[in-house]
Amino acid sequence: MRDDEKFEIIRALDLLPHIAGASWAMLWFRINEIKNPTKEEFREKTIEYFNRIEPLMKSFETKKEFEDINQYMQNRFENEKKLIISGENKEVEKRHQRYLDYG
């Protein structure tokens, strides 16, 4: 698979952990009036909401032509979750700190 064939999914998976996952997590903590979630709590909630896009990841056809992109998306999706839980997704970490500062 060429890089240009997966450019859009690369971009989406760069953004979705903090745009979808962390933003929804922040909203959840705010509505529940939890002012100081731990990093671990914030990461877990981020993954909970990030996981909700999994049906979208599985929406490509199961034809042989989609095999490579489907495999790439699944691997990247799982890797992004590992980065979040380990604290290595810098954007999610920034969102947590921003919530603590301004939440």
In tens, the pLDDT along 40-91 reads 999 999 999 999 999 988 888 788 888 998 999 999 999 999 999 999 999 9
Give φ, ψ of 89 to 5 degrees. Answer: -90, 100
pLDDT at 1 over 70: no
> Does the residue 16 lie in any domain?
yes
Contacts of residue 56, defined as CB under 8 A and 6 or more positions apart, other chains included, come to none
> Does the residue 92 lie in any domain?
yes
> Does the residue 57 lie in any domain?
no
* 25-35 residue pLDDT tens: 999 999 999 99
> Does the residue 98 lie in any domain?
yes
> Does the residue 8 lie in any domain?
yes
Q: How confident is the model at residue 37 (pLDDT cuts 50, 70, 90)?
A: very high
Taking the whole predicted model, whether its pTM rises above 0.95 is answered as no
- The end-to-end CA distance of the chain, in Å, is 42
